[in-house]
Chain A
């Protein structure tokens, strides 16, 4: 096996999760009860023995940098290779933000070249999946392809969010990026393996002339030249591209199907939080849920994913929800179909979400962001927001981060009831 360098694109700005991605990139979004999304990609790398991993960050990188440290949780703090975080930087003659995925690679070509890789594995840090890249690499070599891309047989209803490809034998013969409608039945998983020479030549050819996108400017031309082989992937892969998809992907981990997290042959690594074991009080009732270390549960929890250090007070009910680290739900609260970001505080007897699921637009976090929509009737509360005692609100709803109790009360008066489209 030749030398493989993984280049993880983790800088992308993603507004699709609304307030959850307000201060962090998609790769740093919490997932699955104790992880961040990027843990899955990094764990895949080390399990596949790809141990030189460069991570390009740009958008709100602090949360991600803090998480990755020097790569220690993945044993990527190595003398030879290891994890590197590549921030945009200023040079004597040039300084640019990454203007696209191909540009992020191009601007770090010198760093890539230091490691003299034979192949470059380009990954995106915003996916949750379990893949042995070793298999992909072996197949790539057998096929003698310049590029191999992972694809999965899937017929998404919203193909405009995906790249759709057609496969014939050991070649990808057609690639439609985000088509409005499609008859193609393979989805591009955005996991690419390039011959290093091929990729470097293409980048040097295209990027200086203003072609910055890896898919449009490198892959699609390569497909039309029949240089791209498919790697058909059938394993665990979750789409996190919308708020609803993110919610469902978390829910799919609940005990009945949690085999992916529990697999001891392929553990997902993440920094430890140094929390004590979870405490279940005498009044606790927990069903079909994931509960991490450091939680204190005195109320009722059903069908939920509870991250480390969460308090569920006596008499509170948390149902069908995802609750991030350190959130405090005091006594007598009712929470359903909610995603509560970190360090949210919910005072006694608050009710978040009355039980009438409906679809609606949740608005946007800022003027440039797209509308966040939900068909699941979700309620999202941003990091560090304080919900006052006795507060009640309907679903769906998205609350900003760091709101004080006073601000939430004021907001409540102003929140229009979302226009319901009955399911």
Chain B
């Protein structure tokens, strides 16, 4: 049996705020040294899948740089390997991908030319460790046209997911997208296996009907009607990092003594592009506990409950508590950070205080995204010494020190650089 994997990596992830303003959501750094996409790519290679297509659209540069020719995953192969399918212009005109299944429709020629029996559709923005081989075996045993990976979610969360109801044989009888009153708590993981021919057939039929063809909304419900769609139950850790809050919560889970996501399993090490860094140096006066720290850091201050990417420097006297600091951030002497996410290369001046709450006002620009007491700072911003920044604040990327015109940014403030690219949301 031959299987092609298609990973949808074009998502904007707008509820990740500045973290995904200049990169696709799958390229957002997570757990210190990884990107979100690493989990899916690692799953693929550990499941023996080596023919992978990545469907990009939204700001793919960071992702392409990271994945490259796929060397870290042994995907630099003569046959198969990893191939990017970007939106393109063709003879008959072409357009941006306007839905998850539309992205496949626009690459139907690739799907037709393949000699694969099955097609695995994956999403590049989930964090989980799943052996797709078990899913594929279950699909073959049940002999249907499609199998959907499902996971049980808490009943009070069902309205955030696509919910499936099955009959006694495990066949899907109903699919509801984000129902207010759910009939089941089985959520679709956005992981689908199709018989290649069945997928081509259904896409050809549906593409005329919908311009924004979506797997969850259109393809699966249409196939359910044919009665040949089964489920595969997955029971491990699975997380769709959709919002700043869930990103932050997932990061905080990592620093627990027994985290729900075990990254230390020698049989399932997550593979990523490594940047040759020296081991981390912890100085004599430092205090590091309950934290997750990547190579290349230099720590002289106090770090607690935090996730540090490679090359972060925390100078003596600085205090970092419950934070996520991405690659090469610099925290100067006596600065204080609490519940802050710093994107890459942010510099925090001496004695600055960031993230300490006063009145917990929600963010003025993104009230629905930044309301849980987390402050977020975009890539490359330089926060001047003695600056105070409250909670629920949003500081854009590349903000220069002189752009902090007020000594204190009150809770809920949004500050953007006049010079940096400012994406309209």
| Chain A residues near B (Cβ < 8 Å) | 32-34, 73, 254-256, 258, 261-262, 267-270, 272, 274-294, 296, 298, 305-308
Contacts and interface: CB of A to CB of B under 8 A. Distances in A.
A280 B292 contact: yes
B375 interface: no
A261 B284 CA distance: 17
Q: Which of B31, B279, B298 is packed against the most chain A CB atoms within 10 Å?
A: B279
A276 B264 contact: yes
Contacts of B300: 255
Given A277-B31, A277-B308, A280-B288, A267 B264 contact: no
Interface in B297-333: 298, 300, 307-308
Contacts of B33: 276-277, 293
A267 B32 CA distance: 20
B281 A34 contact: no
Given A276-B31, A287-B285, A306-B279, 5 more contacts: A254-B281, A277-B308, A280-B292, A288-B282, A293-B294
Contacts of B31: 276-277
Given A286-B282, A290-B282, A274 B274 contact: yes
Contact of B279 (A276, A280, A292): A292
Contacts of B284: 255-256, 287-288
A277 B286 contact: no
Nearest to A308: B279
29 contacts: A32-B279, A255-B282, A258-B281, A261-B278, A261-B281, A262-B278, A267-B276, A274-B271, A275-B269, A276-B32, A276-B264, A276-B292, A277-B31, A277-B33, A277-B294, A278-B280, A278-B295, A279-B264, A281-B289, A281-B290, A284-B289, A284-B290, A285-B287, A287-B283, A288-B284, A290-B280, A292-B295, A293-B33, A293-B279
B397 interface: no
Contacts, number: 121
A32 B281 CA distance: 11
B32 A277 contact: yes
Nearest to B265: A276
Contacts of A294: 264
A284 B290 CA distance: 8
Given A34-B295, A274-B269, A296-B264, A267 B257 contact: no
A173 to B, nearest CB: 40
A255 B274 contact: no
A284 B276 contact: no
Contact of B293 (A261, A269, A277, A289): A277
A292 B280 contact: yes
B278 A33 contact: yes
B293 A280 contact: yes
Contacts of A277: 31-33, 263, 292-295, 307-308
Contacts of B295: 34, 277-278, 292-293
A272 B73 CA distance: 13
Contacts of B270: 274, 276
* 4 closest cross-chain pairs (CB), A and B: A33-B279, A292-B279, A272-B274, A277-B32
B102 to A, nearest CB: 36
B147 interface: no
Contacts of A274: 269-272, 274
Contacts of B285: 287
A292 B274 CA distance: 14
Contact of A288 (B257, B263, B272, B283): B283
A288 B294 CA distance: 17
Contact of A73 (B263, B276, B277, B307): B276
Contact of B278 (A73, A268, A276): A268
Contacts of A268: 276, 278
B281 A282 contact: no
B31 to A, nearest CB: 7
B281 A255 contact: yes
A34 B279 contact: yes
A337 B161 CA distance: 56
B291 interface: yes
A269 B279 contact: no
Nearest to A301: B282
Contacts of B288: 280, 284, 286
Given A276-B31, A277-B31, A262 B281 contact: yes
Q: Which of A269, A274, A296 is packed against the most chain B CB atoms within 10 Å?
A: A274
